[in-house]
Amino acid sequence: MVGNRRTIKRKPKLPNCVTERLESRLLLTTDIWRLAISGDWDTPGDWSTGFVPNGTEDVVISHAGTYTITHTGSTEDYFNSLTCTLSTVSIELSNGSLDQDGAAATSVVDGTFAVTGGATFEVAGGTFTANGPTTLSDANLTGGYWWPDASSGSHDL
């Protein structure tokens, strides 16, 4: 038939492709204390992710300033690792529990670190080093922690 051309569009041939469903993955996250202001560990808005850190997250406290982060609630909270290289920041646990869950995590706190009032601090894996002034009074401690300067604080267990 002249004048009546028919155009046939062919689908391009794809190479032999196979798709494979992957298992679900757990991605580690860094959760950063948002501002150089005092506040409670359990306040979601104080953290960069908008959530309180969990056992898979690395916690970083890095905003210059003088402030205190408290843990006053009766909750049990977790983190993978904790880094605070500021000597002007205090971390004070007076209730509940704060646990380092990272199996090979290395945590360092250069500011003041205090566990009082029956609060629990647990290092379930890795190591935790408190380089600054440390107060341990009526504290429940378990795991691998190190206070290099034993003269810088009270260690009343």
Number of structural domains found in the chain: 1
> How confident is the model at residue 141, as a pLDDT?
85
142 within domain boundaries: yes
In this predicted structure, the answer to whether residue 49 has a pLDDT above a threshold of 80 is yes
In terms of phi and psi (left: phi > 0; alpha: psi -120 to 50; beta: otherwise), the region of 95 is beta
3 within domain boundaries: no
9 within domain boundaries: no
Distance CA 21, CA 40 (A): 41
Nearest to 134 by CA among 108, 95, 102, 100: 108
pLDDT digits (tens, 9 = 90+) for 5-19: 666 666 666 666 676
Of the ranges 48-57, 107-116, 144-153, which one carries the lowest mean pLDDT score? 144-153
Residue whose tokens read 């034993």: 150
81 within domain boundaries: yes
128 within domain boundaries: yes
118 within domain boundaries: yes
Backbone angles phi, psi at 144, to 5 degrees: -100, 100
Question: Residue 58 belongs to what domain range?
Answer: 29-156
What pTM was computed for the model?
A: 0.75
82 within domain boundaries: yes
13 within domain boundaries: no
pLDDT digits (tens, 9 = 90+) for 60-102: 999 999 999 999 999 999 999 999 999 999 999 999 999 999 8
